[in-house]
Structure 1
Amino acid sequence: MSYLLLLFIVMVILASSPSFKGKIGERKVKYYLSKLNPDRYVVLHDVLLPSQNGKTTQIDHVVLSGAGIFVIETKNYQGWIYGSERSKKWTQVIYKRKQSFHNPLHQNYGHIKAIENLIGSQIQPPYYSVIAFDPRSTIKKMDITSPQSFVIHSNQLVELIEKHDESVLSRFQIKGISERLKSRMIVENKAAKAHIKQVRVDQQEKKRIVNSGVCPKCGNSLVTRNRKDGTGTFKGCSNFPNCRFIA
């Protein structure tokens, strides 16, 4: 096998990996966000922050504006995308093949809480949870009820952010929040690798707790409920609506 053929095979394998596709999506979003006026917005990319219990959380993009804080999760998926705000899993349909993935709005909720904890209670700006899909995807009907949650294509980000022109945060406050986040950002490569390992361990532990019939968010028992559309049942926290965990 020639060297060029081997190199081609390696490149094809790498290009098809989820991590590589994710990085491509993040770079596209980084390009789109570069079009924002730097005099009005502060944009941070690949933000790795300390979270609760000595853990870390990785955020794709954060935009600070007068209207509040936009927390952006990038999904470089194509095909048809189905989901709802409360469901545990969303669905991607591509070439007649279905596959599920974790609800990115739930993931972004953890990102927002990490930022809130770092900023403190003295400033309480609005938070906008934004899920940005590849423009080549088709976002089907989404059941999103929160007025501060958005599921859009990545090339619509700038329009969405600029449309929110409220003056909630002053330029001084935006600068202060930016410096606060930058001072707490973890940039060491070792920490990034530890974060990935931690995520895998957390997912396994969460699955173990759910299988034992316990809610991993609040510790109450899980109960079986019927879906509103009559398509089956699901496990939910018995402490609903105080806890909205769905297995």
Structure 2
Amino acid sequence: MNAGNNMISGFYEGIWIAIKMFISSSVFPFVVLFVILSIIVQWKMPVFKGKYGEWVVRSKLRNLGDAYTVFHDVYIPNGKWGLTQVDHIVTSVHGMFVIETKHYGGWIFVDEYKPYWTQVFYKRKTKMHNPIRQNYGHIQAFLTYIGQKEMQDVHSIIAFSPNSTFKFKKEFTSAHVIQFPELLSTIGQYRERRISEDIVKEINEKLAGLLVKDKSDKKRLKAEHMQSVRKAKGAKRPAPVQAGHAKNEARQVAPSSCPKCDGQLTLKTGRYGNFYGCSNYPECRYTGNVNVDRQSV
């Protein structure tokens, strides 16, 4: 019995001696540094990927030529929501191009009208907000800022990493969903002069007024933008209902999404009164009664 205990004691003592020798060796600080750097890289990897994607797109847009003006990382005032951050805006007499970049790899399951898309990467599924909808908000903020209610020649471009593979059933009608190498050809297909040089010059001057080079000012704008994002998310949440009115109030709350296709439900008026209709109509013909509460839809 004592021999067995002595063997166990000697085993652990040997491990402890080996650990002390390793800690006191000249290799130990480098191993610790390597582990710390590995943790930081893993933590910051999404940021690094995003920065790399931005750099790739910037490099490609430099080759557009003198007929185009390119603005990067633009923070546009967006009324009560504060600031909207736009990755890239390209202006020219051939049209305006608002570009949203996504440095995502893997399979991207996309639908023009659904609020979320899905990325599948090594069997891991991740949801993302529909970037077409996201860029639509950017375009509206851009038009408001330049003083244009409507502008036919503003084009939405969603640019993904070439490591992505799109999975979709229908072609897109409201945006160009492409990969980085297709950027120049997508913009270049618009060759006709559609906007006067004076208007383009005026728009460029307004956008130039938004550019910030000072790092501290840039950091402040990013913080304000994140506050705007949180404010917009908070506004979309339904207000809390008091317990005494829960039953009555629940019947007046509009269902947020279509149970058939996950599209947006909006209040409409028909020959028989009000009802909720799907935003994906006519592809989806779901309708809901306004007197049906959220749980029963």
TM-score tier, shorter chain, comes to 0.7 to 0.9
Q: 1-side partners of 2:240 and 2:92: how far apart?
A: 42
Aligned pair in 2 of structure 1 residues 226, 10: CA closer, same or farther (>3 Å)? closer
Query: Does the alignment pair 1:34 with 2:67?
Result: no
Q: Which residues of structure 2 form unaligned runs of 5+?
A: 1-27, 242-251, 269-274, 281-297
Higher strand share: 1
Larger deviation, residues 126-135 vs 179-188? 179-188
**Residue 179 (structure 1) aligned to one of 200, 205, 213:** 205
Map of 1:216 onto structure 2? none
With normalisation by structure 1, the TM-score equals 0.81
d(CA) in 2 for partners of 1:151 and 1:50?
Answer: 26
Q: CA–CA distance in 1 between the matches of 2:180 and 2:74?
A: 18
RCO greater where, 1 or 2, for CA within 8 Å and sep 6 or more? 1
The match for 1:8 is 37
Aligned residue runs from structure 1 range 210-229, under 5 A:
221-222=254-255, 225-227=258-260
Equivalent residue for 2:189, pick from 150, 154, 163: 163
Letter in 1 for 2:102: K
Aligned residues: 231
After superposition, the Cα gap between the structure-2 partners of 1:162 and 1:223, relative to the gap in structure 1 and judged at 3 Å, is closer
Alignment partners' CA distance in 2, 1:28 and 1:211? 45
**Could you tell me how far apart the structure 2 residues matched to 1:237 and 1:86 are?**
14
Which has the higher Rg, Structure 1 or Structure 2? Answer: 2
Over the matched positions of the two proteins, sequence identity in percent amounts to 35
Question: Where do 5+ consecutive residues of structure 1 fail to align?
Answer: 213-218
Partner of 2:86: 59
- Structure 2 residue 235 is matched with structure 1 residue 205: yes
Q: Distance in 2 between matches of 1:94 and 1:80?
A: 7
Tell me what 1:77 maps to: 104
Deviation at 1:194, TM superposition (A): 1.7
TM-score, length of structure 2 as denominator length: 0.69
Alignment map for 1:142-153 (pairs within 5 Å): 143-146=170-173, 148-153=174-179
State the AA in 1 paired with 2:42: I
Structure with greater helix share of residues: 2
